Amino acid sequence: MSEIPSSSFIPKRKSIDNVRQVRHRNIYMLSIIIYALFIAAPLASATVFIYQKYTENVFQQNVINLDSAIKDFKEADMLRVVEFNERLKFSNQLLDSHVSLVSLLNILEGATTKTVQFNSLKITQSDQVSLLVEAELGTDSFDNVLFQRGQYKNNQSITSTNFSNLIFTPITIDMDNTTTGQDKRLIQLSAQFIFDKDVILYTPNIINLPSTQQDTNSTTTPEETSNQVSS
C-alpha cells in the first residue's frame, strides 16, 4: 500500500509579519525622501534670494559707473576719436591699395630673356585697379621678338602685353670696312604692359627686434683688514 504524501496541495499563506516589515520599510524610505525635500526647498529659495541680491547690486554698480561716465563725457573728446577713426580708415585704404614697384620690376625681369634690353621704362596708373607700364625694348632678331612676346603672354602676373612701333636698323658697312650699328640693337620696339594691383600689392615686412636688456648688477666686496697688536 502506497504512502499518502504529507504535504497538502493547498498553497500556504505568507507570514503576516514579513508583509508588515516590508510596508514599514517603504514608509520609512518615503519619510526620508519627504524630509529631504523639505530641507532642500528652503535651501534652494535662500540660494535664489542671495543670487538675486547679488545681481541687483552688480546692476546698481554698473548704473552708477554709467552715470559717472556720462557726466565725464565731453563732446570734444568724441570729435577727436571720430577724427582719429577716419584717419585710421584712410591709412588702411592707402596700405591696402599701395603697390610694390619692386615686385613689378621683378616680374618683368623674370619674364625677360637675356637677348632683350630695356632702353626706357615708364610706369603710370591707368585706372583704379591696374598700372600701365610703357617701355622701349631692343633685341637682335625677329625670333627674339616673337619668343619674348610669348614669354610675356604666358606670364600670369602680366594682365596684357602689346608690342608696337617695331623698327629694324640693318648693319651698314662704310667705305673703310667699318660697320655701324654694332653698339645698338638691330630691332627697336615699343611695349605696353598692364598689371593688376592685386598682383603687386605691397606687403610690409614686420621685423621683431630683440629687446636688449643689460642687467648690470654691481657687487662690491669690501676688504676687511685687521691689525693684530701683540703685547
- What is the per-residue pLDDT for 227? 43
List the chain domain ranges: 99-196
Q: How far is CA 136 from the centre of its chain?
A: 41
Q: Exposed, middle or buried: residue 108 (CB in 10 Å: 0-12, 13-18, 19+)?
A: buried
Q: How does pLDDT run across 119-137, given as a tens digit for each residue? A: 999 999 888 788 999 999 9
- What's the confidence (pLDDT) of residue 223? 45
The verdict on pTM exceeding 0.75 is no
Query: Looking at this protein, which amino acid is placed at residue 7?
Result: S
* 130-145 residues labelled b (16+ CB within 10 A) or e (exposed): bbebebebbbeeeebb
**What residue type is assigned to position 133 of the chain?**
V
pLDDT at site 11 = 52
What residues of the chain score a pLDDT lower than 50?
A: 1-2, 9, 16-17, 19, 181-183, 212-231
In angstroms, the CA 143 to CA 131 distance is 28
CATH architecture for residues 99-196: 2-Layer Sandwich (3.30)
* Res 61: pLDDT: 92
Is residue 99 within 8 Å of 125, Cβ to Cβ?
no
